[in-house]
């Protein structure tokens, strides 16, 4: 176990931490939209970009994806999406995508990187570095500037996708249309969907007047068909199928071993570690209580199995299909699974280090960064997904200077 995690493990056992923060009922609701019933706070607090004590009246932000509607993607008939978050600062956006069986996504140029996790169904990448068929549990990374040739949905397919920049759909080698963060934000606004906030300042801007969605809930297939448990299988006894995809840019997470996360009840499947950005993508099985910590960088995660007890959340916690975004600077005194008889599992992107302590104002006990995750992956024998394609994948402008 890396020394930094050994220190964190000692903190876990400290007597002061045995007093778990109780789960309490809250007036905040996280259904089809991020809505809150405001409690009194000063204007200065509302405008704050950072509150070092971080004493919120609810969780930072989350959305139950099962209650969101599917919004047709006009650029590609047969494709739809559920909007989750759009960054006004970087243009990054997070969505759950759907492709109906037989749909063909045209050649696509990625202006920024993207990562994806297949939740249900199958789709085939026709050729190139990603060539092959992917199915539930497959996680992949597409570097910025890559050109991905046509994708065919072999079955109705749903997948979580983070776009770090726009995607351009091509026809005859030229750009025909573009899919961007502002497109997602506009589509959400049109339908009365409030996107998950991106900063602590936005989280402090309470608004009780958001309209309720008029749509019928459209749950993800993985949850409506009760297939989540298979997606999250322990995997030590699951061998990789040699007939399946062997691209270095995809990994079948079902075949990855659980790695000891260095804290009681914590195990990880680490898919990618970026030495350039510090981003870490992983699946977490958290059956113990997390010690007090700050998110020095943001993080997002989708609940796959079990229910998570979250600060100021409801006593029953939040279950499968709930997607969260932790703004940079967010603090947690305690998070844990609600039911002892089921694994708490979620897939996450961690965009910066996590700092552990034993309470607000106490000394820093440990910092968990991409370097520690890399050590853990190497010690556990995890084969990490590659972050770059070999060579140039071409340019997408009419002429090159």
For residue 311, the model assigns a pLDDT of: 66
Q: Does residue 195 or residue 129 have the better pLDDT?
A: 195
User: What's the gap between Cα 99 and its chain centre?
Assistant: 19
Q: Does residue 362 or residue 20 have the better pLDDT?
A: 362
For residue 53, name the pLDDT band (cuts at 50, 70, 90).
Answer: low
pLDDT above 70 for 20 = no
For residue 240, the model assigns a pLDDT of: 46
For residue 163, the model assigns a pLDDT of: 98
SS3 label, residue 7: helix
Tell me the domains of the chain and their CATH numbers: 3-64+229-378 (2.60.120.10), 70-192 (2.60.120.10)
Average pLDDT, the chain: 79
For residue 391, the model assigns a pLDDT of: 64
For residue 242, the model assigns a pLDDT of: 43
For residue 244, the model assigns a pLDDT of: 53
For residue 16, name the pLDDT band (cuts at 50, 70, 90).
Answer: very low
For residues 275-286, give the mean pLDDT: 96
Cα angle 193-86-328, degrees, rounded to a multiple of 5: 115
Contact between 80 and 233 under an 8 Å Cβ cutoff? The reply is no
For residue 341, the model assigns a pLDDT of: 87
Contact between 163 and 95 under an 8 Å Cβ cutoff? The reply is yes
For residues 184-211, give the mean pLDDT: 77
pLDDT above 80 for 60 = no
pLDDT above 90 for 280 = yes
Contact between 299 and 326 under an 8 Å Cβ cutoff? The reply is yes
Q: Does residue 37 or residue 249 have the better pLDDT?
A: 249
Q: How far apart, in whole angstroms, are the C-alpha atoms of residue 267 and residue 379?
A: 13
82-86, 143-147, 203-207: which range is least confident on average? 203-207
Helices assigned H by DSSP within 48-140? none
Q: Does residue 227 or residue 280 have the better pLDDT?
A: 280
Q: How far apart, in whole angstroms, are the C-alpha atoms of residue 317 and residue 227?
A: 21
Q: How far apart, in whole angstroms, are the C-alpha atoms of residue 139 and residue 118?
A: 6
For residue 33, the model assigns a pLDDT of: 30
Residue 185: which residues within 8 A CB-CB, separation 6 or more? Answer: 83, 86, 93, 195
For residue 309, name the pLDDT band (cuts at 50, 70, 90).
Answer: confident
For residue 228, the model assigns a pLDDT of: 55
For residue 389, the model assigns a pLDDT of: 83
Helices assigned H by DSSP within 181-281? 181-190, 200-203, 221-224, 228-231
Percent of all residues in the chain with a pLDDT value above 70, rounded to a whole number? 73
10-19, 78-87, 118-127, 272-281: which range is least confident on average? 10-19
For residues 65-85, give the mean pLDDT: 95
For residue 80, the model assigns a pLDDT of: 97
Q: Does residue 231 or residue 193 have the better pLDDT?
A: 193
Joined tokens for residue 346? 């979620």
pLDDT above 90 for 110 = yes
Q: Does residue 6 or residue 161 have the better pLDDT?
A: 161
pLDDT above 50 for 210 = no
For residue 333, name the pLDDT band (cuts at 50, 70, 90).
Answer: confident
For residue 359, the model assigns a pLDDT of: 85
pLDDT above 70 for 184 = yes
- Going by the DSSP 8-state scheme, the letter that residue 15 receives in this structure is G
Task: List the one residue out of 31, 29, 52, 61 whose CA is nearest residue 205.
Answer: 61
352 HSE (CA, 13 A, CB side): 13
Joined tokens for residue 175? 């750009």
How far, in Å, are 169, 218, 277 from residue 111 at the CA level? 11, 30, 17
pTM for the structure as a whole: 0.83
For residue 103, name the pLDDT band (cuts at 50, 70, 90).
Answer: very high
For residue 14, the model assigns a pLDDT of: 39
Q: How far apart, in whole angstroms, are the C-alpha atoms of residue 89 and residue 107?
A: 27
pLDDT above 90 for 40 = no
Task: List the one residue out of 61, 63, 64, 29 whose CA is nearest residue 219.
Answer: 64
Cα angle 186-190-195, degrees, rounded to a multiple of 5: 60
Task: List the one residue out of 268, 255, 250 whose CA is nearest residue 345.
Answer: 268
pLDDT tens digits along 348-401: 999 999 999 888 889 999 999 999 999 999 998 888 999 988 765 555 544 444
């Amino acid at each position: 176990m890396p020394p930094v995690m050994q220190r964190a493990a000692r903190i876990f056992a400290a007597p002061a931490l045995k007093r778990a923060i109780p789960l309490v009922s809250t007036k905040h609701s996280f259904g089809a939209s991020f809505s809150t019933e405001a409690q009194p706070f000063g204007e200065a607090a509302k405008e704050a970009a950072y509150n070092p004590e971080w004493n919120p009246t609810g969780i930072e932000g989350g959305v139950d994806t099962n209650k969101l509607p599917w919004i047709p993607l006009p650029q590609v008939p047969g494709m739809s999406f559920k909007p989750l978050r759009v960054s006004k600062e970087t243009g990054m956006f997070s969505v759950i995508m759907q492709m109906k069986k037989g749909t063909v996504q045209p050649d696509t140029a990625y202006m920024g990187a993207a990562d994806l996790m297949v939740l249900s169904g199958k789709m085939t990448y026709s050729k190139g570095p990603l060539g092959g068929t992917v199915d539930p549990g497959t996680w992949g990374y597409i570097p910025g500037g890559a050109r991905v040739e046509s994708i065919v949905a072999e079955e109705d397919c749903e997948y979580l996708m983070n776009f770090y920049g726009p995607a351009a759909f091509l026809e005859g080698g030229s750009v025909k249309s573009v899919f961007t963060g502002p497109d997602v934000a506009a589509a959400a606004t049109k339908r009365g969907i409030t996107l998950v906030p991106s900063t602590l300042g936005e989280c402090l801007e309470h608004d009780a007047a958001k309209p309720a969605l008029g749509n019928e809930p459209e749950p993800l297939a993985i949850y409506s068909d009760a297939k989540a448990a298979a997606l999250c299988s322990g995997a030590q006894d699951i061998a990789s199928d040699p007939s399946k995809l062997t691209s270095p840019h995809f990994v079948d997470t079902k075949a990855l071993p659980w790695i000891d996360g260095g804290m009681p009840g914590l195990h990880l499947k680490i898919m990618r570690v970026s030495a350039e950005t510090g981003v870490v993508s992983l699946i977490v099985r958290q059956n113990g209580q997390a010690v007090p910590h700050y998110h020095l960088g943001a993080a997002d995660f989708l609940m796959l199995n079990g229910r998570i007890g979250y600060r100021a959340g409801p006593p029953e916690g939040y279950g499968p299909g709930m997607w969260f975004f932790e703004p940079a600077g967010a603090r947690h005194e305690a998070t844990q699974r609600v039911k002892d008889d089921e694994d708490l599992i979620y897939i996450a992107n961690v965009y910066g280090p996590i700092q552990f302590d034993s309470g607000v104002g106490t000394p820093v006990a440990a910092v968990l960064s991409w370097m520690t995750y890399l050590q853990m992956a190497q010690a556990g024998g995890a084969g990490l997904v590659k972050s770059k394609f070999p060579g140039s994948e071409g340019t997408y402008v009419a002429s090159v200077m």
